[in-house]
């Protein structure tokens, strides 16, 4: 099995198709996923996901439903990524969802719960089968670091540390990492984007989400944009890390 870790915050977890409605009985706004799965994100029997209980199961949208549990999850980039990769890779695929909405990069530092859980899940994904291998980490995070200049300025060093730590802790010194340059955020968004694009470490790629359509909240990608992002991530992986 070719295994991919999906990590970061809400745009990796997926908010595509999550809509707000006003509940007149509860007198408050509630959110729910519209349940629409684009054909590009359909399930396939050869694609699996590691559940929150650390069990492999059939992968389907929303991939992060039992991981990012404090929010409503919808369509993210993971399923379309898997479908696009599967057409070129003659192996079953395993997705390891780890993203949690609203999280800043300092919460992904070594020793913090989010980071340690990601490493634990990644290790668990290859534990049972010595033929399975972690092929890449897909990372989409940074919006939570755009509201303070201090956080934005620290982003590059924090991300470089995360890359170094996760490679060390998984004993994969050249693990491919494909990070997404953010498409939304607050006052210091451009500073975080610059940091993301400036990271110059071997086997670290950056794909740019800027220009992809955002929902009305101007923060989260639409379902259609998530489909496009999944394709972009797959092309980056296949071009740079799986040449054939």
Which amino acids are annotated catalytic? 10, 217, 220
CA–CA separation, 237 vs 111, rounded Å?
29
Residue 203, helix vs strand vs coil: coil
CA–CA separation, 131 vs 19, rounded Å?
41
CA–CA separation, 182 vs 193, rounded Å?
6
CA–CA separation, 235 vs 60, rounded Å?
21
Q: Could you tell me which of 236, 235, 239, 228 has the C-alpha nearest to residue 183?
A: 228
Tell me the sheet residues that pair with 62: none
Three-state helix/strand/coil letters over 100-155: CCCCCHHHHCCCCHHHHHHHHHHHHHCCCCCCCEEEEEEEECCHHHCCCHHHHHHH
Q: Could you tell me which of 75, 96, 244 has the C-alpha nearest to residue 170?
A: 96
Tell me the sheet residues that pair with 49: 57, 95
> Residue 2 belongs to what H/E stretch?
strand 2-8
For residues 17 and 33, is the Cβ–Cβ distance under 8 A? Answer: yes
């Amino acid at each position: 099995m070719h295994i991919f870790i999906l990590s970061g915050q809400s745009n990796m977890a997926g908010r595509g198709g999550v809509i707000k409605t006003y509940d007149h009985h509860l007198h408050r706004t509630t959110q729910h996923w519209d349940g629409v799965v684009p054909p590009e994100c359909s399930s396939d029997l050869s694609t699996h996901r590691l559940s929150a209980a650390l069990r492999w199961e059939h992968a389907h949208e929303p991939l992060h439903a039992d991981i990012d549990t404090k929010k409503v999850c919808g369509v993210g980039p993971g399923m379309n990524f898997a479908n696009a990769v599967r057409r070129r890779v003659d192996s079953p695929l395993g997705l390891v969802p780890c993203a949690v909405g609203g999280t800043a990069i300092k919460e992904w530092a070594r020793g913090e719960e989010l980071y340690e859980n990601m490493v634990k899940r990644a290790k668990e994904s290859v534990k049972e089968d010595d033929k399975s291998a972690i092929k890449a980490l897909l990372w989409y995070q940074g919006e939570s670091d755009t509201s303070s200049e201090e956080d934005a300025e620290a982003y590059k060093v924090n991300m470089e540390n995360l890359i170094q730590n996760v490679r060390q802790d998984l004993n994969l010194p050249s693990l491919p990492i494909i990070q997404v340059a953010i498409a939304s955020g607050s006052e210091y968004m451009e500073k975080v984007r610059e940091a993301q694009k400036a990271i110059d470490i071997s086997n670290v790629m950056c794909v740019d989400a800027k220009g992809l359509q955002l929902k009305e909240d101007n923060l989260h990608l639409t379902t259609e944009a998530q489909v496009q992002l999944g394709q972009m991530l797959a092309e980056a992986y296949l071009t740079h890390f799986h040449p054939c």
